[in-house]
């Protein structure tokens, strides 16, 4: 690269976000990382600066707060940074019947998964348009392609992200700006314990990917300018199944995935796939 590009990544302290940050660092990008916990970001910034010799800035921010996106934007402006690549990665889910999950939890999910993505894109896109160059990576999910009983609001938020990404990609044709929706399936991250899903079929019996693999494939898709990228052969099969299954069949299939397996069938733990990927490095 002739110019060092700066990338802003949300949800950068763990999981896919952390591994996306690592991919960008490996390729020499300047990083601005945001996540709620300052100490975690400081440790990552120190490690990445030492290992990859790149500049790493941090913006501690809880995206459930209504003014979160504006705070991030003001911090970037104050430091005089130009964002060449925006990665809207932060997100979380919560398993349970719709009426059993609190409204506050659902609103927090909407703020992180939808509102932060919308606001940050609104704030940083004009600068990209002025430069006639830029890239946006939105972490959606294969959940965005179909309904998900027991994860109803999560699926709905990812459908929003996927639809917005595809629409923006078309609107921005000819501007020098690309938009990529990264749509992973089950991935060995903190999503599962936080969503109370470690015992679910989705984690115990599904083909679970390591976040390192998802991030490496996602980085390549972004740099190619892909509009939608689904990492993993099994995830591609799950997405393509919507062409032959009725909406009701899709919904029932996902409901089954999200139910717990019997205790004797629980063989996998959070971090198993992630550790295997580290050993391959």
Is 154 marked active-site? yes
Of 4, 175, 190, which Cα lies nearest the Cα of 89?
Answer: 190
Residues found in the chain: 281
Catalytic residue from among 52, 154, 258, 273: 154
Q: Which residue in this structure is represented by tokens 């660092």?
A: 25
Query: How far is it, in rounded angstroms, from Cα 117 to Cα 97?
Result: 25
3-state per-residue secondary structure call for the chain: CCCCCEEEEECCCCHHHHHHHHHHHHCCCEEEEEECCHHHHHHHHHHHHHHHCCCEEEEECCCCCCCHHHHHHHHHHHCCCCCCEEEECCCCCCCCCHHHCCHHHHHHHHHHHHHHHHHHHHHHHHHHHHHCCEEEEEECCHHHHCCCCCCHHHHHHHHHHHHHHHHHHHHCCCCCEEEEEECCCCECCCHHHHCCCCCEHHHHCCCCECHHHHHHHHHHHHHHCCCEECCCHHHHHHHHHHHCCCHHHHHHHHHHHCCECCHHHCCCCCCHHHHHHHHHC
As annotated, the active-site residues are: 154
């Amino acid at each position: 690269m002739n110019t060092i590009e700066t990338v802003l990544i949300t949800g950068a302290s763990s999981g896919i976000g952390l591994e996306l940050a690592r991919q960008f660092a490996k390729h020499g990008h300047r990083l601005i990382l945001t996540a709620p916990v300052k100490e975690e970001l400081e440790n990552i910034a120190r490690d990445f600066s030492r290992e990859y010799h790149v500049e790493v800035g941090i913006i501690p921010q809880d995206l459930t707060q209504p003014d979160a996106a504006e705070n991030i934007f003001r911090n970037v402006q104050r430091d005089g940074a130009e964002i060449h690549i925006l990665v809207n990665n932060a997100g979380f889910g919560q398993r349970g019947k719709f009426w059993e999950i609190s409204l506050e939890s659902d609103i927090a999910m909407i703020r992180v998964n939808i509102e932060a993505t919308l606001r940050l894109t609104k704030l940083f896109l004009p600068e990209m348009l002025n430069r006639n160059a830029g890239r946006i990576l939105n972490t959606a999910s294969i959940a965005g392609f179909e309904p998900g009983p027991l994860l109803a609001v999560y699926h709905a938020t990812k459908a929003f992200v996927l639809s917005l990404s595809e629409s923006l990609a078309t609107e921005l044709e000819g501007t020098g700006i690309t938009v990529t929706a990264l749509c992973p399936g089950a991935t060995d991250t903190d999503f599962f314990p936080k969503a109370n899903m470690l015992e679910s079929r989705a984690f115990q019996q599904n083909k679970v990917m390591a976040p390192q693999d998802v991030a490496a494939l996602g980085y390549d898709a972004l740099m190619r300018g892909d509009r939608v990228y689904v990492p993993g052969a099994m995830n591609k099969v799950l997405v393509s199944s919507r062409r032959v299954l009725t909406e009701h069949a899709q919904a029932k299939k996902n409901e089954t995935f999200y139910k717990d397996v019997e205790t004797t069938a629980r063989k996998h733990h959070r971090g198993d796939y992630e550790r295997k990927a580290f050993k391959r490095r």
